[in-house]
Amino acid sequence: MALKYSTTVNNACLNAIEDAIGPSAIMKLRTGPAPANLASADSGTVLATIALPANWMADAAAGSKAKSGTWSTTASAGGWGGHYRIYAADGVTPHIQDLVSQIWTATTAVVVGQQMHNGGNVYRATTAGTTAASGGPTGTGTGIADGTAAWAFVGALGLTLDNTNIVAGQEFLIASYALNAANT
C-alpha cells in the first residue's frame, strides 16, 4: 500500500525542499536531454542562468508551493530548451531537475530536438515537419507520427515555457513555477 499524507504533512515536506536548497538558489535552463539523475554531470548548453530571489518560493498551501518574486534574466546562448536544474546558491550543487517543453499546437512547424507536451507527456521531435491538424502525439514509444513530424516520448510534463526556442540576448521570464505534493 502506498503512503498517503495529510495536506499538513505535504506542505511541511514541500517547505523542507526550499529549506534544504537554501536561499538565493540558481536556475539554469539547458539544451538537450536531462541527465539520468542529479548525481550525473550537467549536460547540454546553458541557455539562461537565473539568480532566484533570496526567498524564492512561497510557503506551501494545499499541497503546492509556488514561486516567489521575479524569475528573469537575459539568455546567454541560443538553442532549444530541453531541461532545467535548480542549484544551491553556489550554482554547482544541483537539487532539482525536470523537463522543459511548450504546449503542443496543431499545424505547427517543428525541428529535430524541439520539445512539446500533450496530455501530460513531453515529446522530443525526431523528424522535422508540421504537426497534425488535431490530436497530437500520444503514447510512450518512439517514432510517434504527428502530421509530417515524428516524436519520441521523453517523460512526464515538467516546466512549461511559451516558446522553447531561446535566442541569445532575449529577455527570459519564468512566469509560473510550482512544486506539488506527490503523496496526497
Residue 102: pLDDT band with limits 50, 70, 90: very high
Cell output for 150: 515524428
pLDDT one-digit tens code per residue, 2-38: 888 999 999 999 999 999 999 999 999 999 999 999 9
- The residue ranges of every structural domain in the chain are 8-100+160-179, 102-156
Q: How far is CA 169 from CA 78, 79, 80, 135, in A?
A: 8, 12, 14, 34
Q: How far is CA 67 from the centre of its chain?
A: 14
H/E run at residue 109:
strand 109-110
**In the chain, % of residues over pLDDT 90:** 95
The pLDDT value recorded for residue 105 is 97
Residue 149 has pLDDT above 80, yes or no: yes
pLDDT, tens only, 151-169: 999 999 999 999 999 999 9
Quick one: average pLDDT of 80-106?
A: 97
pTM (2 d.p.): 0.92
* Nearest residue to 116 via CA among 157, 64, 145: 157
- The number of beta carbons lying within 10 Å of the beta carbon of residue 5 is 15
pLDDT at position 111 over 60? yes
Residues 6+ apart with CB under 8 A from 4: 183, 184
- At residue 83, the pLDDT reads 97
Task: Quote the pLDDT of residue 81.
Answer: 95
**What is the Cα 40 distance to its own chain's centre?**
17
Give me the chain's average pLDDT, please: 95
Instruction: Using the CB atoms, write b or e for 101-134: b if 16+ within 10 Å.
Output: bbebeeebebeebbbbbbeebbbbbebebebbee
Q: Which of 163, 154, 165, 106 is nearest to 131 (CA)?
A: 106
pLDDT computed for residue 25 by the predictor: 98
Between residues 184 and 5, which one has the greater pLDDT? 5
